[in-house]
Structure 1
Amino acid sequence: MDLAVLIVSIGALTITGIAATSAWVQAKLAVSARKNAEAAEGRAIDAERRALEAAESSAASSIRVAAAFEQANDLARASTLTVKDAAHHDLIAAISPLVSINVLSMEIWPYFETLRLRMITFIDRAGKDSELIGNWLDAERTYGLQCVRDSMHAARTVPRSELWASQTAQAMSPLHTWAMNLITNLRVWRAKGDEVLDDLVDQTNQTIQVTRPVS
């Protein structure tokens, strides 16, 4: 083999070796790239899983928070009802003595003053959500005051006779009737709610107009 052929052969082998080396390097790079892609895909899947878990946890947390708020609202409503029930009971307890009181003395005024103060308390506790409750009870207080004055005036004019007791009771009837009607209307309101307040206000105002003395 002459020198030229040898040189050509060596050159061919060198080129082949370089090509093989390049192919091997490319193959290694391809394998590495594929591994990197698989790793990236795995990280993406893991990130998506964590995101879903976080979303589920957030949703569960939101549900727990909503449930806690609902429970707090239920407790607040129950507390409000308890306060209203207590005020309602106290108001009826203050009215009850006026249903049958028949003593012709100043003792009526302390009873009525107690009732007036209970009405103020009742409006403060039960009337925060409805101005009509205050309007209604203010009208009732005005009418009740008129009934007290009219009944006491009529009772004082009853002559002393065998009919004094029955005539005095009759003279006190406006006060008794007002007190009984107020108790009944309070119970109607507690049973049916604020939707009846308009009717109660109108009823009380009409009663005041009918019974008001002509000046």
Structure 2
Amino acid sequence: MDYTLKCGELVDAEKVFDEMPERDVVSWTSMIVGYVKHQCYVKSLKLFKTMVCDGETAPSAYTFSGALGACSGLQALKQGQQVHAHVLASGFLGDDSLVLQNNLLDMYSRSRSVGNARKLFNSMANRGSIAWNEMMSGYLLCDEEVEAFKLFASMVSQGVKPDKFSCAIGTDACAGLASIQQGIQIHAHIIKAGFHRDLVIGNALVDMYAKCGCVEDAKLIFDAMPSADAFFGLP
């Protein structure tokens, strides 16, 4: 069944799943995650609910990850909080549960519940760049660019190395604020990290300088960007 899902044969996978005399956690999880991969978020959540109500098979961390992915796709805060409650009851949110914590951050951020996202973020003993990026993205989704930039600055001050996604989010925050001073600071991080040749970063920088009124700087960066043909290896 997992093979058919990977091949994109969702209908065949559903048929196999429905005809199974017994289902273990792997088969339930494969179907729940498969629905998410095919953006069938409602079906994913319905199947998760059936699994929980059935009560014969306990969800795994991967099952919860799939259900949270469905909630993120739907921006369904209420359902996400219900899944969060199941996660807590199952005892999967220890210090080594970074993936699930990141899934929860993504769900709360996409649902524009930054208060809950920040509460979870602050409680995390170990934060990788993904957690920082999810939290900053959540602030941007709620038009809280100041908080997004503050978090980027905090990330740097705490010795966490921003990746290209962190830099793109930070640059977008500066664009929203039309703050050239902070934008230049992030641009310096981008150059130091060697991200300045990245197309996504380049577009973010062009947008930031243009919104800050620095049209000449925006044009210089645009002219220095690799073309789309070069990016895709075309002649």
Fold match (TM-score > 0.5): no
Which structure has more relative contact order (CA 8 Å, sep 6+)? It is 1
Q: TM-score range by the shorter chain?
A: under 0.3
**Higher share of residues assigned helix:** 1
TM-score (norm 1): 0.20
